[in-house]
Amino acid sequence: MVYDDCIFDSITYSSTRKKKKYNWHKTKMGVGMNEKKPLLVHLDGKLYDIADFAQKHPGGAKVLHKLAGEEIGEFMRGERRIMGVKHEHSEAAYGMLERYSVDKFQKLDPLIDGKQGMLFKVGSLRSEYWHWIHQPYDGTLRLFDSDFLESLTRTSWWVVPSVWVPVVLLFSLFSISTFSQTTDLYNSVLLWSFWFVVGILTWTLTEYSLHRWVFHWKPSPESENQILLHFLLHGLHHKTPMDGDRLVFPPVPAIPIVLFFYIIYSNTFTWPVFCAFGAGKLFGYVGYDMIHYYLHHGAPRPLSNMHYRKVYHHNHHFKNFDVGFGISTSLWDYIFHTVGMGPL
């Protein structure tokens, strides 16, 4: 692979009394970064964005797109075939590849290297925001100047099941005990099981819908408030996918959401059905958060189903963020034709 000399000249940050704005200057490129997707590859643990070079690659852009999100060391060294071809690359190719190091860009990025809270500055990225969040940073970002507020943005994975699993058990008991007032215990458990599973399936559709149509909603580049909202919803996760303390949803802001659905479902279903259905949906959410955390930080056995799901989700982050929205299941990806890629 030979990489062209289209690189970022500089990254400047200018401030005025009314507005702060980031200007990302590029040579030879007349389009904004929001007009193309990153093309990310890994080499020896480092991340590179080679989108600017794809159309000039001597082996064709299709080869590079096929390797998006992958470790390319064996292909660069000519040890593995790609599309039927093996090719050992020169030292010059490795040197040119360094020009596209994401780490190099990020070292100059004041939003990343700054010691102050960056949350209310992210809107100033404007048209560069969409590309910026899809160049992942292997670290954490400081959102607030206040240490106290910053601590509230972090949640350990075990907090979620500790808070919500007892609620699932409690409402399951409510359901079975209420059902048992009109039928025997065996049928009460069957009724609870049916509505519990319906609740889980409903969560999987909710999960897919939120991920695809809410979390991946593209904010207007002209609206700093829309950018801020998207960054809080999902942009932060795509920018820092390995930040383990910001992977699960904190219980405190989750409480009003749970209460909102409590009001809706309790007025839709009878009490025992509501308790079983609600417990199932809440259990589905807990399972989703735990699976999502494991996909980022776990080490599943190769060729196992969970290994496939880990690669599938990895490819959503690093290969194509427009497909592969299912976390706990790919069912809805198949139904809505957004199936992503598993292992090569």
Q: Is 234 annotated as a binding residue?
A: yes
Whether residue 230 is annotated as binding a ligand: the answer is no
The number of residues in the chain equals 344
Q: Binding site annotation covers 238? A: yes
Dist CA 283 CA 172 (whole Å) = 11
Alpha helices in the chain (DSSP H): 61-66, 73-76, 91-97, 102-107, 110-113, 129-133, 147-152, 159-179, 185-209, 224-230, 236-239, 251-266, 271-297, 305-318, 331-335
Q: Is 211 annotated as a binding residue?
A: yes
User: 233: which DSSP letter?
Assistant: I
Is position 296 annotated in a ligand binding site?
Answer: yes
Is 65 annotated to bind a ligand? Reply is no
Is 297 assigned a ligand-binding role in the annotation?
A: no
Q: Is 314 annotated as a binding residue?
A: no
On whether 131 is known to bind a ligand per the annotation, the reply is no
How much of the chain is helix, strand and coil, in % rounded to 5? 55, 10, 35
Main-chain dihedrals φ then ψ at residue 260, nearest 5 degrees = -60, -50
Best CA proximity match to 143, nearest among 169, 115, 165, 167: 115
Binding-site residue positions for heme: 57, 89
Binding-site residue positions: 57, 89, 211, 216, 234, 237-238, 292, 296, 313, 316-317
Binding-site residue positions for Zn(2+): 211, 216, 234, 237-238, 292, 296, 313, 316-317
